[in-house]
């Protein structure tokens, strides 16, 4: 992945892309139904009712986008999350809010569930959903029975990075953009049961190994974002980064522009002072003390992954250098 994939450099992009997605998902059309079921295998008991499942999923996506908290993750913070995600320990889904749309300033490379080839994630939509376990059955149904609460996630990539689009002729691409005008393109969805660890598929099995690998990557990416968002290495601000033109347009239309949660890497702390005075000319910044711990939180009566003693070190004007691995999990 190169810097050419830096496609979202401004927090305001989240609102624009959210509005474009909402406009498209609000239509109960054939393409919406196809995209809604992308990456999802037919649920037991719904084989003959695939159109109903597609429409139900479309409605869920529309509603989740409409009420989602909006996040924008800075380029450096995206690099930190991308680097640390593979090493995060198994954990349960623990999102900071129920519904959210998070956009990464840099697209995150991963594995395509169908082909096993590289795919890029530029944004993730997540929300809560209840699947249903049929009475006396091991499989999950969307019918009657016992509710199985899950986090449902939809991944998106910039259209120009999607293999399907890149493989089209110029004429086909033009036609496709008429059908799907958004630059953020859905690349698949999956559910993560609240009782399942990152690598567990007992409740909702993955059909094949490439799908399993892709879903685990998505879960780890989300879990790392959730874990780091509440730690000292991160600074979260609520911003309204709108130009005067956008504010005037919203006022004329009677629209209320939402706050955006901006996630940035915290600037070097006192741990990193004095490098210049020591006589060493540091060439980069780095993260110190990075290892995961499955931390027990008595107030919540649960374990959560925590990055221990993590802080930046090095001169502020130097590039950030990240190690591809972190130290072993400490329990």
Domain shared by 83 and 190, yes or no: yes
**pLDDT score at 283:** 60
Lowest mean pLDDT among 11-25, 95-109, 114-128, 267-281: 267-281
**Last residue in a domain, options 198, 229, 260:** 229
User: How far from 312 is each of 284, 319, 320, 325, CA to CA, in Å?
Assistant: 11, 11, 9, 16
Residue 327 in this model has a pLDDT that exceeds 50: no
**Do residues 45 and 131 share a domain?**
yes
Pick the last residue of a domain from 229, 257, 278. Answer: 229
Of 168, 199, 229, the residue at which a domain comes to its end is 229
State whether 130 and 40 are in the same domain: yes
Mean pLDDT over each residue of the chain, to the nearest integer: 80
pLDDT for residue 132: 62
Report yes or no on 121 lying in a domain: yes
205 and 90 assigned to the same domain: yes
Q: Identify whether residues 273 and 223 lie together within a single domain.
A: no
| pLDDT of 308 over the 90 cut | no
- The answer as to whether 263 is a domain residue is no
Same domain for 182 and 308, yes or no, is no
> Which residue's entry shows tokens 């649960």?
302
Same domain (yes/no): 73, 220: yes
- Can you give the pTM of this predicted structure? 0.81
* Residue 254 placed within a domain: no
Supply 131's token pair: 């699947």
Q: Determine, yes or no, domain membership for 261.
A: no
Domain count, the chain: 2
| CB-based contact 302:295 (threshold 8 Å) | no
For strand 234-239 and strand 260-265, is the pairing parallel, antiparallel, or unpaired? Answer: antiparallel
Beta strand 100-111 with 146-158 is unpaired
Kindly tell me the sign of the dihedral angle through the C-alpha atoms of 121, 23, 4, 247: negative
The lowest-confidence range among 16-30, 42-56, 107-121 is: 42-56
* Structural domain that includes position 179: 3-229
Q: Is residue 182 a part of any domain in this protein?
A: yes
In a domain, 247, yes or no: no
24 and 95 together in one domain: yes
**Distance of CA 47 to CAs 54, 90, 129, Å?**
11, 32, 20
Please indicate, yes or no, whether residues 164 and 309 belong to a single structural domain of this protein. Answer: no
Say yes or no: 319 and 174 in one domain: no
The predicted-structure confidence for 33-48, as pLDDT tens digits, reads as follows 999 988 776 555 545 5
User: Do the domain assignments include residue 307?
Assistant: yes
The verdict on 172 and 293 lying in the same domain is no
Residue 241 lies in a domain: no
| DSSP structure class, residue 6 | B
Q: Are residues 192 and 114 in the same domain?
A: yes
Give the pLDDT confidence score for residue 193 in this predicted structure: 93
């Amino acid at each position: 992945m190169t810097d050419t994939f830096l496609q979202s450099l401004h927090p305001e992009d989240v609102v624009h892309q959210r509005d474009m997605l909402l406009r498209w998902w609000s239509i109960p059309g054939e393409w919406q139904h196809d995209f809604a079921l992308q990456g999802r295998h037919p649920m037991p008991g719904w084989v003959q009712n695939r159109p109903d499942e597609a429409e139900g999923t479309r409605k869920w996506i529309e509603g989740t986008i409409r009420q989602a908290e909006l996040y924008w993750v800075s380029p450096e913070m995206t690099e930190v999350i991308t680097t640390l995600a593979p090493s995060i320990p198994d954990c349960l889904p623990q999102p900071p809010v129920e519904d959210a749309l998070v956009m990464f300033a840099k697209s995150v490379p991963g594995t395509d569930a169908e082909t096993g080839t590289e795919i890029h994630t530029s944004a993730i939509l997540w929300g809560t959903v209840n699947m249903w376990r049929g009475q006396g059955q091991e499989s999950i149904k969307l019918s009657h029975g016992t509710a199985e609460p899950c986090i449902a996630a939809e991944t998106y990539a910039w259209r120009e990075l999607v293999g399907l689009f890149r493989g089209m002729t110029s004429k086909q691409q033009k036609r496709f953009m008429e059908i799907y005008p958004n630059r953020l393109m859905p690349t698949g969805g999956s559910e993560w049961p609240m009782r399942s660890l990152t690598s567990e598929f007992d409740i909702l099995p993955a059909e094949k190994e490439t799908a399993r690998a892709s879903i685990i990557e998505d879960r780890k990416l989300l879990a790392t974002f959730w874990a780091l968002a509440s730690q000292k290495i991160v600074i979260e601000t609520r911003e309204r980064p709108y130009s005067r033109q956008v504010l005037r347009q919203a006022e004329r239309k009677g629209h209320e522009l939402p706050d955006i949660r901006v996630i940035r890497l915290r600037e070097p702390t006192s741990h990193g002072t004095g490098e210049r005075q020591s006589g060493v000319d540091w060439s980069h910044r780095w993260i110190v003390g990075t290892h995961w711990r499955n931390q027990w939180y008595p107030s919540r009566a649960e374990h959560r992954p925590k990055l221990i003693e993590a802080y930046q070190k090095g001169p502020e004007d130097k590039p950030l250098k990240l190690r591809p691995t972190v130290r072993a999990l400490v329990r």
